[in-house]
Structure 1
Amino acid sequence: MREYAKFYIDGQWTDPAGAGTFEVVNPATEEVCGKVALGSAADVDRAVAAARRAFPGWSTTTGEERVEVLQNVLDVYQKRAGDLAAALTEEMGAPAALAGGFQVGLGAGHLSTAIAVLKDFVFEEQRGATLVVKEPIGVCGLITPWNWPMNQMAVKVFPALATGCTMVLKPSEKSPFTGQVFAEILDAAGVPAGVFNLVQGDGPGVGVPLAGHADVDMISFTGSTRAGIDIARNAAPTVKRVTQELGGKSPNIVLDDEAFAENVGKGVANMMGNSGQTCSAPSRMLVPAARMDEAIAIAREAASGITVGDPQGDFVMGPVVSEAQFEKIQALIQKGIDEGATLVAGGPGRPDGLEKGYYVKPTVFARVTNDMAVAREEIFGPVVTILGYDSVDHAVEIANDTEYGLAGYVAGADLEKARTVARRIRAGWVAINDAFDFACPFGGYKKSGNGREWGEFGFHDYLETKGILGYVPEAASSG
């Protein structure tokens, strides 16, 4: 049983202002596996004050000094990788191979990328007589979700550190263990007191006062679109910068060519990763209508190969994160059936042999139309919907017929054709044939948010741009 009763504020593990606690449930066993302290507005005030005090010193460090600190963080991170993986499996049910592999690996990859970017980042540029300066925005409130904890903490904390900002991190109360280990890593790496602060808690107790705090200059939030709207409203009176990475209902256009069968199978497998709990997951598979029967047969076989079970074992999928998430997914699966979609694989209830734990069957719906709930709502579970298209133009039209625009996918043997289709998808991140790049900008159009994370692009939202006119005498600048 894990018990985390203190917050990390001003370089110290300190008692919370109140006595509230939150019980963390292991989704594989449905049993309480830990308790964490619940923060309040008073805790936010203390953490923000510490970050404000630390800002003048940290913001004036050199890039080289910050590189050294980040390199120290990477060294400690790698040593604690096993602890992070164990926490992930326990708190959110990520299979051990996924937790210790891609989940923890994403954090290390983003940190290494931030170090590389910082070494060459241009913070000052002379344009004629004017000096254009990129300066850290100030104190940042960082609010992260439970589904990819290390990825989301990494893409916020590391760019903030690299650009000279100070911060207060609020992890999700559903996955708080990794946040505690992460704070221990930054402390052991020698991040100066007050630069990084951690306050655990829920949205009303910590998220709301953090978003509305007058001494917070920026909020970076990842989560649902509904919660993102609330964050923006709370932040509006203080006119702070708000960046958001929100929901998604991403299209996966499978082109009609010799790679069709392979790409349909891959599309199903990719959707089931992390139990479907990925905002950028390829949840809407678009296939040529004339090949729908073929796609159904391939998808059924692919889904049958997705093993589900104890995340400590050798299974592809573990449980979803909570009872509430389980019930939401079950309701949407039933809605798909009620709306007349063809159930190809999976369906309501737990997989056979699993009587306990929030396990969901790998589910595939076919002959879906884009007006059905399963095609429009973010299910956030292992459910893929297959829609038919008559032409590439029709596929693009369906792909863009959504209020979301976080990600898109194009799969096909003809690279030039795939490139043309990718350009037409209205989303911030479009992958051709499952390509991956830590340096690629990640973020959404429409109700999927604003701002960009990852690589160099992740630095920009943490910077203010200042123009100093007359910095160089006119004669010197023209000579």
Structure 2
Amino acid sequence: MRHYEGVFVDGVWRPSERRRELVDPSNGRPFATVGLGGAEETNAAVAAARRAFQEFSETTVAERLDLLNRIAAAYEPRMDELADMIAEEMGSPVSARVQVEGPLAHFRQAGKVLEAYDFETRIGETIVRREAIGVCALISPWNWPIQTLAVKMAYALAAGCTVVCKPSEATPLGAIVLTRILHDAGVPAGVVNLVVGSGRTVGEAMTAHPDVDLVSFTGSTEAGARVGQVAAQTIKRVSLELGGKSANIVLPDADVAQAARWNIQRCFFNAGQSCHAPSRLLVPRTRMEEAIDGILDEVGRIRMGDPRDPSTTMGPMVTKAHYDSVRRYIRTGLEEGATLICGGLEPPEGLSDGAYVRPTVFGDVTPDMAIAREEIFGPVLAVMPYDDEDEAVEIANESPFGLAGYVFSADPERGYAVGRRLRAGRVFYNGAPANAASPMGGYKQSGNGREMGIFGLEEYLETKAVFGFSERSRALPSLVR
């Protein structure tokens, strides 16, 4: 049994009598404990961040760029260690390298954005300054335990902000190691602080604290709504990246079987525990047989097993409680009359000790079914028929969520036209990959604000207008052209 401290304040790890036992979801066995903080530790962390803010916010772009480069250099040699840790604490296979390669890419991308960004511009005789917003509370989820926090940290530091971080208490170890890496890279004391604890104690204390200027939260829509309510009492900025029920519209001119195979790969990556997962597959009614053939072929290639085995492509659910939740949705789909194409409630052979759910696909799903409306956050796909393009767009947009959308078509112009009609923050054509410089965020109940690239940097900046300085007194780029 290993033991970790989960409170890092002003450059020092603090011991805690309150501890949480961590359980390996692949076998149900405890393997570590982590120290927990509460309101007292949160207040201390915010105070440390406030003290550090004045000096750190006045660092130069060159100094912050050097810091980001040092962080990336310190992070890269530890990616294998971090991959093993994620496999153990949440069950994401070591083969899913994006879980640990993504953070490195985002630290580097933040450096590129910082180097090119104009913090002072001009509108006539007005200087427009962009300044660090202040102390930021960064609250990250369990399903991407390092990348989500790294993205927030990278752009907050690039802006000159100081931070207090709260990872999920279910998967805190990646955040603990990431904090150690930043400390080793020379992040000044008080600039980055960490408090592991529950949302009801640590999360609420951060969000309500009058010395916190911004809350960046990634998690469920329900929890995001609570963050917004609490933050409103002190009129602080809130950036929310919340749930999704993303639709993949396969147009009649597409290779339907290939689109279905890709959908299985993307939807069941990370065992379906991804807010961007295309968990609704919309197929022309006359092409459904081709789609099912592609689905069954791709599901047959999935290898469930020990997430530490490099040949494993799908691991367990993060906890037994989440396993039970996903199974309830599968049972609901059966009760609602959807057709079970594959998967179901039976545990995978030889994996009954862990929180494993078989890759499950339902056909004949209608928009009124719970499995079509609600975010399941597991390896469950709803396949829905449509008769024409307008109906497909209508079904896709009926969801209260709007995080991502997907379109497959042989015609780029037609694909783009459909993509424009989707009410979602990101749209992917023919399975195109995202890039670290592009904005990420959602419409509707999928959140507000944007992360990544220049958009992510500007979330952590305030805008100030300074009047009365002629162009001759201070030459700056013009904001208005």
TM tier relative to shorter chain? over 0.9
Is 1:471–2:475 an aligned residue pair?
Answer: no
Q: Deviations over 1:146-186 (max 9, x none)?
A: 10112201210000000000000000001111011001100
CA spacing shift, 1:469–1:360, aligned 2, 3 Å = same
> Where do 1:430-445 residues align within 5 Å?
430-435=427-432, 436-445=434-443
- Of the structure 1 ranges 243-252 and 32-41, higher mean CA displacement relative to structure 2 is found in 32-41
Alpha-carbon separation, structure 1, partners of 2:296 and 2:343? 9
Sort the Cα spacing of 1:268 and 1:473 in 2 relative to 1 into closer, same or farther, 3 A.
closer
Q: Which amino acid is 1:425 matched to?
A: L
Offset of 1:381 from its aligned partner?
A: 0.2
Runs of 4+ in structure 1 displaced over 4 angstroms? 473-477
Instruction: Give CA-to-partner distance per residue, 1:397-417, whole Å, 9 cap, x none.
Output: 111010000011111221111
Deviation at 1:227, TM superposition (A): 0.6
**1:216-242 Cα deviation digits (max 9, x unpaired):** 000000000011111111111111111
CA distance in 1, matches of 2:72, 2:467: 39
Distance in 2 between the 1:407 and 1:243 partners?
17
Secondary structure of 1:80's match?
helix
Instruction: Report the counterpart of residue 74 of structure 2 in structure 1.
Output: 76
Q: Does 1:351 find its partner at 2:348? A: yes
Cα distance change of structure 1 residues 295 and 214 upon mapping to structure 2, 3 Å threshold: same
Q: Which residue of 1 aligns with 2:4?
A: 4
Q: Residues of 2 paired with 1:180 and 1:57: CA distance?
A: 25
Number of residue pairs aligned between Structure 1 and Structure 2: 473
Could you tell me how far 1:257 is from its partner in structure 2?
A: 2.1
Partner of 2:479: none
1:242 matched to 2:220: no
Contact 2:6 2:37 in 1 (8 A): no
**How far, CA to CA, are the matches of 2:436 and 2:340 in structure 1?**
36
Q: How much is the aligned-residue C-alpha RMSD, in angstroms?
A: 1.4
Aligned mates of 2:374, 2:450 — CA distance in 1: 23
Q: Distance in 1 between matches of 2:110 and 2:211?
A: 26
Work out which of the residue numbers 11, 19, 24 in structure 2 matches 1:26: 24
Of 210-219 and 77-86, more deviation after overlay is shown by: 77-86
Q: What is the rounded CA distance, in whole Å, between the counterparts of 2:298 and 2:169 in structure 1?
A: 34
Q: Is the 8 A contact 1:263 1:412 kept in 2?
A: no
Distance in 1 between residues matched to 2:473 and 2:356, nearest whole Å: 72
SS in 1 for 2:364: strand
Say yes or no: does 1:123 pair with 2:85.
no
- Aligned partner of 1:405 in structure 2 is 402
Find the counterpart in structure 2 of residue 372 from structure 1.
369
* Aligned match of 2:478: none
1:306 aligns to what? 302
User: 1:306-334 CA deviation, whole Å, 9 max, x = no partner?
Assistant: 12111112111010100111000000001
State the partner residue of 1:95. 93
2:391 maps to which residue? 394
State yes or no: 1:104 paired with 2:108: no
Confirm whether residue 85 of structure 1 aligns to residue 80 of structure 2. Answer: no
- Flag the 1:15–1:258 CA change in 2: closer, same or farther, 3 A: closer
Distance in 1, matches of 2:6 and 2:141, equals 20
In structure 2, the residue matched to 1:65 is: 63
Q: CA deviation at 1:83?
A: 1.7
Counterpart for residue 363 of structure 1: 360
Q: Residue 324 of structure 2: SS of its match in structure 1?
A: helix
- Are the aligned partners of 1:129 and 1:474 in contact in 2 as well (CA < 8 Å)? no
Identity of aligned residues (%): 48
Q: Is 1:288 the counterpart of 2:284 in the alignment?
A: yes
Within 2, Cα distance between the matches of 1:423 and 1:169?
36
- Matched residue, 1:325: 322
Q: Residue 341 of structure 1 is aligned with which of 297, 319, 338?
A: 338
Shift of 1:80: 1.4
Distance 2:6 2:151 in 1: 24
CA distance in 1, matches of 2:141, 2:421: 30
Give 5+ residue unaligned stretches, structure 1. none
Q: How many Å separate the matches in 2 of 1:464 and 1:304?
A: 51
Question: Please, which runs of 5 or more residues in structure 2 have no aligned partner?
Answer: 476-481
- C-alpha change, 1:303 and 1:469, in structure 2 (3 Å) is same
Query: SS where residue 368 of structure 1 aligns?
Result: coil
Q: TM-score, normalised by structure 1?
A: 0.97
**Cα distance between partner residues in 1 of 2:294 and 2:84:** 35
Q: Match of 2:227, SS?
A: helix
CA distance in 2, matches of 1:349, 1:236: 45
